Amino acid sequence: MPTLLAIQSSPRGDRSVSRNLAAKFIEDWKAQYGGTVVVRDLMKTQLPFVDLPWIAGAYTPAEQHSPEMKEALQISNELTAELLAADHIVIGTAMYNFSIPAILKAYIDHIVRIGVTVTPNYEGLVKGKKATILLASGGLYTPGAHAESYNVATSYLKQILGFIGITDVSVVLAGGTAAVDRGQATLPELLGQFEPAVAQAAKA
């Protein structure tokens, strides 16, 4: 049975477009594959930034780790094990300042590890997996849109996933969420626009 790892990162709870789309993705994926779903909610994960004991530990053989290094790497070990055990990874994220939220970057800093997810020669070790990015943004960044080139979130996520070995990546650009905040559309109306693309990514 396959495993889906669902990474949620929005602080906006039920009003979050990326959370709602990730929930729909999980539902569709479950209906298709019936496997195991592991939800990693970054808003509920105590995720420190990478610090000196973390860096020292990441470049020191495990048998030589000090208690401080062990502690610093504990969450990273948990997150990398979770990632390596998954067959499909869905990332629900907002666009913040044309890029990704800091909490998701902090997660990435914990899962990109030499000897664990990438070799010392920079070959990705997270092989044979698919990923889907569900990117919610207030504005529109679809091909041909005026602000398309401002979107560095998609290219960055694809690049870093590729770096650790995940090259089969689908992206759903859930743009225009500001319409809901301005009262020009309801949340269900907006979500409905993206549900076919989410369903397609979940079945792929």
Compute the 3-state secondary structure of the chain and give helix, strand, coil in percent, each to the nearest 5. 45, 20, 35
Q: How far apart are CA 197 and CA 204, in angstroms?
A: 11
Task: Give yes or no for residue 138 binding ligand FMN (CB under 6 A).
Answer: yes
Q: Please tell me whether residue 18 binds ligand FMN under the rule CB under 6 A.
A: yes
Tell me which of 139, 158, 195, 199 binds ligand FMN, using CB under 6 A: 139
Q: Please, how many CA atoms are within 13 Å of residue 144, restricted to the half-sphere of its CB?
A: 0
**Binding-residue pattern over the window 44 to 83 for ligand FMN, x denoting contact by CB under 6 A:** ----------------------------------------
83 Cβ neighbours under 8 A, 6+ residues apart: 5, 89, 111, 117, 126
Query: Which of 6, 19, 161, 191 forms a contact with ligand FMN (CB under 6 A)?
Result: 19
- For ligand FMN, how many residues bind (rule: CB under 6 A)? 16
Under the binding rule (CB under 6 A), the answer on residue 154 touching ligand FMN is no
CA distance 51 to 73: 10
Q: Which of residues 118-137 bind ligand FMN (CB under 6 A)?
A: 136-137
Please give the residue whose beta carbon sits closest to ligand FMN in the complex. 94
Rg (CA), the chain: 18
Asked if 17 is part of the footprint of ligand FMN (rule: CB under 6 A), the reply reads yes
- 16 near ligand FMN, judged by CB under 6 A: yes
The yes or no reply on residue 177 touching ligand FMN (CB under 6 A) is yes
Residues facing residue 170 across a β-bridge: 132
Contact indicator for 136, 18 with CB cutoff of 8 Å: yes
By CB under 6 A, is residue 190 in contact with ligand FMN?
Answer: no
Rule CB under 6 A: which residues touch ligand FMN?
10, 12, 16-19, 94-98, 136-139, 177
